[in-house]
Amino acid sequence: MVISSNALAYIDIINRYLALLAAGDVRGIVSLFSARGTVHSPFLGMQPAGKFFDLLKAATRRSVIEKPEVFVSGVGSRRASTCLTYRWELADGAQVSFECVDLFDFNEQGLIDTMTIVYDTAPIREAVGDKYRGVQTH
């Protein structure tokens, strides 16, 4: 097994990301991404990080992150992930909770280049519908 010398930095960035996500701090979150950083979302497809987190903030009243575990690559790649329970209160008061995995690919400077979100969307769409439809950002 080969662990990247940057593994601790990746863990720190992911933990900062989770804290900023729970706080709803879009600027803080986006500062962890490279200038070309993207998010691959089951609901929204591929979006620039800034646009994705603006849409998420507009659709969200509150986010609670529970039981996060962070994992780093065992082959030395610039990849890490977190598995967590996401308790999401939407802007209209609807609430949903689900397990998800966020996969992070980092660039040479240690910033997030891509984040891929993985979860089962069927129960969420059934419970709350598509809350992003019609959401406008500045």
How far apart CA 18 and CA 27 sit, in angstroms, is: 13
How far apart CA 52 and CA 26 sit, in angstroms, is: 10
- CATH number assigned to the domain covering 7-128: 3.10.450.50
Residue with tokens 């690559």: 73
pLDDT in tens, 10-51: 999 999 999 999 999 999 999 999 999 999 999 889 999 999
pLDDT in tens, 106-132: 999 999 999 999 998 877 777 666 655
